[in-house]
Every structure is written in C-alpha cells, then in structure tokens.
Structure 1
C-alpha cells in the first residue's frame, strides 16, 4: 500500500489525517458532508479521497489523488440517494429495504458503463477513464483530471459569439469521440457545455458520463437532464433514446456557440415550438448552416438527423447540406423517381398523340395503350407504383400495430388529446393516403387520439388575475376573463367567481371557462349595500 498524500500539495503524510500538512500548512480537517467518504480515505491502496465536489442521481464525485503517480484525478462513487440508506460505520453502502435488487442491478449498469469507457478511452474527444474498482459494496470510477475550463465558462468570457467555422473546429474532436461511443454501442445522453472540457494544452474533451437511468426522466434514479440540450425523448421513461439523442444535444451546443442563446427546452417546445433559427438570431450564420442545426434539433426522432457523421459532414460542407435538403427527409430513391417519371411521361405522350389525332373517322375511340401493352420496361415500372394506405380512423393497437398489412412501412406513432376522435383511433397521417410510396420501409407518421383532455377546475377564487392565469395555463384550460362590478366583497383585480365550480372535471378541448375579475371598488355600490343591510337590520328589529 502506498503512502497517503496531502490532498492539497501531493506531498507524503507520515501519520494520520489531522492538524495541518507539514509541507504546505493547509488544514487536513475533514469537511466533506455527512454521508460522503471522509477526506484522506484510501481506496484499493492506490487512491486518496480528497474534497467532495458534487452529487447527482448516480452518486458522488470527489477530487482524488493517484498516489503512485502523485497526480490529481476525479473519483466517482456510485451512491444513488433514492436507493440507499447511507453507509455503515465501515463505509459500506446500505440499500433501502425492498430496494436491494434494484440497487444491485443499477450498480451493475454503472460498472458496465465505466468498464466500457475504460476499455474505449483514451480516445480523441473523450475524457479518459483510468480505473474501475469495487469496494464498500459499491463501485468507483477514476477519471483523469485536466487543468482547463468548461465550455460554459469559456463562452461566458467571450465578448462575441463564435463563427460557424470556429464552433465546428472546436466541436470536431468531441463529435469524433461521440461517433466512437456510438460505434461501441454507447449513448452519452448528457452532452452540454458544462460537460465539455477545454484543457490548457489540448483539444476539447467530453466528460459527464452517466447511466441511462440518470439521464431519463421518470426513472428509478433522481434524473439529471440539461434543459435546452436534453432531447425530448429523454423526458419520458416510455420513449427510447438512441444515437439521434446525442445528435440533438450536439446541435444544441453548436446553436449556443453561434447564437449565444441556449435552445428552448424540449418540453416547452412540445407545447409551442418557439425555437428561432440560428440565422434569425445571428445574421452571420449562413442559412444552410442554420438549416442543418434545425434538422438536427427536430422534436420527432424519426425526422431528425440520425448520426453524428451526418451532422459533421453537413456542418462542414454546404454542398453536402444542400444535397441533403434537396433529397428531403425521406431520401427518395433516384431510381424510383425515374421509374415513376417514365410512366407519367409515357401516359402524357399517349394523351397528346390522341388529342392531335383527333379520333378515328368511324368515331370509335381508340383505347389508350397501357405501359404493359407497349414495353416490358414500362410494365415493370408501372408495377413498382404503390400508394400510401389510408390509416385515418383505424384503431392503432388492433388494426395497425404489428399488422402484416403494413409490414413494408415503418410506423411512427405520437399521441394527442382529441375531443372529437375516440381514444386509440388515428387522427391524421403523414404522408397522406394515396401518396406514392417512394422507398422500402417508408415512414408513416401517425397521430393517435388519447381521448379528451380531462382536467380538474382549480379553486382560484380570490386569486390575483396573474396567479389565476398561471393556474389555468398550467392545466391547459381555455378561459375568458371578464371584469365585473366590485361591491367591496373582493379585492380589486382578484377572481370574484367562475362559471365552473372548483373540483369539477371537464374536457379542456371543448369547454371555455368564464373567469370574473373584480373591478375597481365602487363606493356607491358599497354604500348601497351597507344601506340595504341597515334597512334589513332595522326591519328585523321592528318585527321583533
């Protein structure tokens, strides 16, 4: 076992961690928070735990020391707070009762991830994992620690945005690293300026590795998502992430670099997509470059750019980008376009010939020859024509999903509330029914009804108008605001009444709630009300 080192000056310490370092004079007192490993803890006889740095859903991060080489490292300890009851006096993690199996399986996920990264790194654009070890009923990953700054800090120091060429050059090694991750079957899911390091001497590197559960909303761990950079599919455990998830994040980082603005967060975009193009925010960004970013930032994963090499090529060469846009989302096969075009041209030629001929003298119409009657090539082309089926009105689960009728298509389904269409029934499709099928496994995007959006009316009586609007907007409730006379019962500008009783459930797509706001206090009405009350009291007294 190597001799422990001072966590400040890396000089050997002869004795216990107490008092001050005899070399640098700095305190060796343990100030790490309760539950974290104490300062000076030895791991595997090779590493010294330094100061606590941060925590996320996966665990804790410490500044550490590689004793033998006398250099600083980053040590990550698997410690999921949602699954643990803390640690024993000996330092071993103790899973919560009933969470033992989940703790063990998620710990395996953590170890598998860092084992894969250990085998993959060092690599261009990726921060290196130096070691992975098991101790204290948990797993530790040791990552290199380089002097430098994060991309977030770098951008905050700049007086202007980066040009597209500068952004592309800076991100190039990171993109190469992500492409290597994908080739190895790994997805990062946490790409953002905070997790891109700019060493003092060297190219940009990606760090911030995390498990799938950490980077997925609604998972068993406390999730860590980066608004503006996390793709929409990461906000639901029911949706799948893939290479396209990292493509979204890389494009978002590039967008930030060339515009100076963080993209609108995905959940907000799904409600109302207000993301402005990079070109509209920064005139110096070429239109083609802006279009590439927009393509990579699409909310629908099926319509998004799919791979990092595609993104790198499109951001580098305007000719590649323009060719991609000319090709369109579905990348239509040139051969099939030619086949369909030949059939159409042939039929038009026959019709033109017939109109010039003007019909036979016996007034009997000459039948228009079909492609099959004129050439084998024409027949072959004609047979290739296939149109998109009509799926609107069909039940997705029983009539479409897993049906052999649509085996030649890739069905992509999203859901949407509808007051008119029954739950589970297709509302719309893209491409439309009857459109020519242009490629094998062509994508058909379906919007399927989730049924009416039933919401509960909140109790907003007495709320200010601003707070009432916030409550209604959060629930997606449509409303009309009307000002009514105020007899002094309510404060001015507050809700006096609504025409839907609090607690009532209703269809937000059909019902518009009338909200009545108390106007300026009317002293005449107040006086009149008071007078009426006095007369009533007087009458009651006389009656007695």
Structure 2
C-alpha cells in the first residue's frame, strides 16, 4: 500500500493511488464552484481546505484538516460575495476599489467577533476557535469540527418533536451559553434548528455566528434570515427596529416552539399582517400551560413587550406555576370532559378558540358530567350581588359641587375687579414680569425635558472603524461630528478617538465627537513604471497618499503610451519615485500623464514632419526633442495582489488590478 492522502469531502485518509474515496465516494475530478477556494488548497502552510459546506453574505465554510495533527476542522473564510470576487484558478480574493472601505469595515467586525469567540473557547457549547490568520487578501478562522447533527435532522429522527421533560434536560446549558454571549456583547441573531447541533452525548452546540449585517435585512451585505425564527426587527435596518438580547429571546422561543410542537413557527413578517400563531399548548396538551405562555411571551412581535433577557426567560420557564395556572389546568381538563356533553355550547366554544390565551374562565353551571372528576368552581360575581348602600361620598358630593361653582364665580368677579383697579402701566409691568417668569419656567422645563430624554442607545466602540461606514450605519441612533487629523497609527478615514466612551448610554440623536485619520503624515512615493492612471491611483492610495493630496494633469509635450505616467512634481519641482512625501505639508503631488489627445497630436506632428521637404542635416537635428522621459513600454499585467501579513489583524485589501486599455484614455 502506498502513501495515504486526505479525502477532500470527508477528510478520511486513503491510498494515494486511488482516485475515489472508499469512505464517501468522492471523486477527485468532481467540479467545484470557481468563486470559492479550490479543494486541496493548503492554507497557512498547515490547513488542507476541502469542499465547500455552506456560504452566505459574509463568507464560506469549508471542511478541512490540520495536516500536522490529522484532525478535522471547519474553515471559515471571510468573503462577502457582493463586495469582492476571486482571481481565476487561485485562492486570492480581489476587491473592487469602490467597495474597499466596506470590505475592510466588515472584515474588522468579522475579526473582532471571532476574537471574542476565541476568548470563550472553554465553553463546551460553542465550537472553539483554534486559529485565525490573514491570507489571500482576507481572513480565515479555524473552528473545531462539530461531531453531531443539526437539531432539525435530530427532530426528524425523533418523531419530529421532543417532550418538555427532554427539553428541560438538554436545553439549560444552551441557555447559559447564550447568556454568556450577551454578557460579552455578542448577539447571535440566528438561533434556529439549522444553527444548533446535538452531539452523540446529547450536548447542544451553537454555531452560525456572523456579522450583524448578514442577520439584518438591507444592512450592506447579502442577508441570511431563518424563516420562522428571525425576530421582526431583523427585517428592517431602521432605528425603530432596535436589536438586542430580546432578539435572541425570540429565536430561542421559536426553537422551543418547533422542538415541543413539531411545527415550524409562523414567520414574524406574516404575523405582522395576520397573527395566527397558536399557543404550543393548543397544539399539544402535554406541553405545560405556563411553558406555553412563556414561549408566546418570548415571541411577542413588539420587542419592548417581549421578554428582554435569557435570564428572565429561564426564570419564567422553570419557576413553579402559580395558582392561576393550576386553576386553568383543572378548567382545561374539565372542558375536555364536557366536550362530548350534548348541548354544552360553552365547552365546545372554549375548545374551538385556542388563539386567545385564557387566564380566567368561569365554570359552566348545571352540567351533568359523563364521569366523576374533581371540578374547581369559581364563585360567580352575581352570587354575592347586593343593593348599593348610600356612602359618605354620596352624602357630601352635592355640597362639594355647589362650593366649586361658588369658587369659580368668585374668581371671575376677582378678575373683573382687578382689570378695573390696576392701571395700564402697572398691568404692563405685571404682564412683562409674568412673561419673563413664563420664559424662565419654559427654559427650565425644556432643560428638564432634555435631561430626561430616554437614554436607550448604548455607544459602540467606534475606534478602528471607518468613519464613512459608521456615519451611515449609526445615523438613526446618533450623530457623528468628525475632526480630521493625520495619524500614523490609523488608515485614512478610520476613527481613532471618540468623545463618549464605549458602553455609555445616550439618547437618540445625541452628538458624538470623533477624530478621524487623514492617513499617515509622511509616505513614500510609489514607482509608476508600467502602470496606467487608474493603477497608479490605487498604488498611491495603498502607499498612504490619498486623493486630497494628489492631482493628475495631462502632459502637453510628452511622448509615451496612452494613459501612462511620465513625470512627478511637488510644488513645481520634479521628484522621483521612492522619495518621501509629506501629507501634512499642504502641498500636492502632481502626476503628469499622457492622454489619448496628446498621442493624437504627436502622431499629427510626426506625419507633418515626414511630409515636409528635407533641407539640411542641421535642420533635421533641430527637431523637437521630448523634454521629459522617453516613451515607455506597455505595462506588464499584474495578477497576484500582495498578500497580507501579521495575522490575525485585518489584512490590507488591494483593489483588483486592471489591464491598461490602449483604446481609452482622457483626463482624470
């Protein structure tokens, strides 16, 4: 038997001479989606990337193996499909320049999310983060492989549902884990039978963590919401749809609903137009009534009226039922007995209207039971009816009314007398005094109202985020007032200081002052040889020289290829590539380039020179000579963008390199 190799689908080893995996039947020649990493690619010099398992608007998940230990792993690749693409037949990601800011901002959020998960690696209900690194112009996260099945498949194998006794045994560790995530500032937003796994040991594991934009409709990325389990506020990115721990409460309760009843909950968007979600107890009478009602409370369409935290949810689920619940259980059993009794319309109506939760019901009277059963009888209100007696209030209310009328008449008379006695001048003074007092009171009232505004918005950590993206993202919650400064530690447009600290509560519409980087104070001018105008702009941006510090001007007397760079100047002086440029000086780097018009003029001059009569050798030698550089050769195509370093920090993402178009040009 020869050397062994990993199967790209199941990651089991088999003989290298074979081309079909004996374990799963995978054929090495099977085609793969060219948008994703080719199976068999080695990442970070140790992780074998297998076939694609799933993908969404944030990225893709592959099965993989650690070649040093031979263990299976899950490889998560950040790749927002609507912001980037992949270089053909390579693992390298290419980003459209117009999407570069968004790409980097979402990648920073992705990195922070997985760093937070890595700090929770000791929690057995979350697949631990084993590694994180930057490569191929993106970031990869390595998770431990989950040995288990999705809750959805597990329910299908168990008659589609679980009993409350089973749920109360296996779900508490998951509740605890979600509470820990919330304390760490992580909102999952996708709790469902597709993201919860159950192992052979009966342990639940929570997966499917993504950046918030993937779990919210129209938030900048292609979103993925689980129908029936997504809260209504996830279908809108507006300020009125605030998300928080209560969003996960909805998902948990929807998961409990599915597990206990065997039915998928009605989608929250459909419920907003016609809410026909039945209580779990009405679908299965074995579900305790208090559990049923807690689940319905946790699935309230209004986030403010919903159970707010996992702790509150667990407390209500597992607390002892109150006497009211016990009474209702007895009533429910009694109504079941009465259902077959002829002529008992009240009992039948009770069974036919399960949509409305019934908290207090009156026991029907004068009913012949089919069998003996303990019946709880609540006293009827009309059993204790008595005639109303005359009270003290009744005796004095007439005198009070007469006194109030007399007081009103006296006040009117007082006003009339005051008008007749007080001189006009004094009246003006009094009015002025009253007006001044009123203005003061109004100002004080406004100040009080301003200070009493609901502080319902928690300030996020803005440092390290891009200002342009953050300004739009949080515009419905607060206003960012930016002060732009050069900073050597932060990229252009990145926030490096905020006036309100992370975690503080503010009112909607409050102003937060932020300092935004204009880039580094000094930068090195990149070489322009072989680059077109657009390519050189990208090179300048990457070098730290941004559009407010450079300008492109068409060269009128230079020869060269269309759309190519011929000369660099700063403050009228020629500079060379690789020299230092001071962004803070206020001077601009002027880039001279050859346009299509310049080439046409040169060709016309060449034709005219050829057609002119030849005089002497001396005259020929006095022909115009280019004052700058000689014509440059066509630029070589660049296919491989530089790879990022220093994992696991977000890598520098390069825009896709375009081939120079010899037929186009023009001023920039």
**Fold-level match, TM-score > 0.5?**
yes
Task: Please state which band the TM-score falls in when normalised by the shorter chain.
Answer: 0.5 to 0.7
Per-residue CA distance 1:190-237 (angstroms, 9 max, x = gap):
100011111113511111111101100012111000011000000011
1:117 is matched with 117
Contact 2:268–2:301 (CA under 8 A) maintained in structure 1: yes
1:126 is matched with 126
How far apart in 1 are the matches of 2:92 and 2:166? 48
Question: How far has the Cα of 1:97 moved from its partner?
Answer: 3.5
Pairing of 1:23-172 with structure 2 (within 5 A): 27-29=27-29, 31-87=31-87, 90-159=90-159, 161-172=161-172
How far apart in 2 are the matches of 1:295 and 1:118? 33
Question: How far has the Cα of 1:404 moved from its partner?
Answer: 4.6
1:264 is matched with 266
How far apart in 2 are the matches of 1:314 and 1:30? 52
Q: Mind listing any 5+ residue stretches in structure 1 that lack a counterpart?
A: 324-350, 366-401, 413-544
The TM-score, its normalising length taken from structure 1, stands at: 0.57
Let me know the Cα RMSD of the aligned residues.
3.4
Q: Mind listing any 5+ residue stretches in structure 2 that lack a counterpart?
A: 326-389, 404-445, 457-668
Question: How far has the Cα of 1:322 moved from its partner?
Answer: 7.5
Contact 2:34–2:89 (CA under 8 A) maintained in structure 1: no
How far apart in 2 are the matches of 1:411 and 1:132? 37
Q: Which moved more, 1:143-152 or 1:154-163?
A: 154-163
Pairing of 1:489-504 with structure 2 (within 5 A): none
2:174 is matched with 174
Change (3 A) 1:160 1:229: closer
1:243 is matched with 245
- Give the number of aligned pairs: 343
How far apart in 2 are the matches of 1:24 and 1:154? 21
1:428 is matched with none
Contact 2:131–2:143 (CA under 8 A) maintained in structure 1: yes
SS at match of 1:208: coil
SS at match of 1:264: coil
How far apart in 2 are the matches of 1:68 and 1:94? 30
Contact 1:148–1:197 (CA under 8 A) maintained in structure 2: yes
1:276 aligns with 2:272: no
Per-residue CA distance 1:328-373 (angstroms, 9 max, x = gap):
xxxxxxxxxxxxxxxxxxxxxxx9667789999xxx99xxxxxxxx
How far apart in 2 are the matches of 1:10 and 1:94? 32
Contact 1:288–1:321 (CA under 8 A) maintained in structure 2: no
Contact 1:4–1:48 (CA under 8 A) maintained in structure 2: no
Per-residue CA distance 1:103-152 (angstroms, 9 max, x = gap):
11111111111111111123142222222211101011111112221110
Change (3 A) 1:406 1:303: farther
SS at match of 2:214: coil
How far apart in 1 are the matches of 2:174 and 2:46? 30
Question: How far has the Cα of 1:250 moved from its partner?
Answer: 0.1
How far apart in 2 are the matches of 1:9 and 1:357? 91
User: Which structure has the greater CA radius of gyration?
Assistant: 2
Contact 1:190–1:230 (CA under 8 A) maintained in structure 2: yes
How far apart in 2 are the matches of 1:407 and 1:312? 35
How far apart in 2 are the matches of 1:23 and 1:306? 47
Structure with the bigger RCO (C-alpha within 8 Å, sep 6+) is: 2
How far apart in 2 are the matches of 1:96 and 1:224? 23
Change (3 A) 1:56 1:357: closer
The TM-score, its normalising length taken from structure 2, stands at: 0.47
1:314 aligns with 2:320: no
Question: How far has the Cα of 1:20 moved from its partner?
Answer: 6.0
Contact 1:10–1:70 (CA under 8 A) maintained in structure 2: no
Question: How far has the Cα of 1:51 moved from its partner?
Answer: 1.3
How far apart in 2 are the matches of 1:61 and 1:27? 20
Change (3 A) 1:169 1:202: closer
1:301 is matched with 303
Change (3 A) 1:403 1:293: farther
How far apart in 2 are the matches of 1:48 and 1:410? 52
How far apart in 1 are the matches of 2:315 and 2:48? 44
Contact 1:18–1:28 (CA under 8 A) maintained in structure 2: no
Q: Which moved more, 1:310-319 or 1:102-111?
A: 310-319
How far apart in 2 are the matches of 1:25 and 1:288? 50
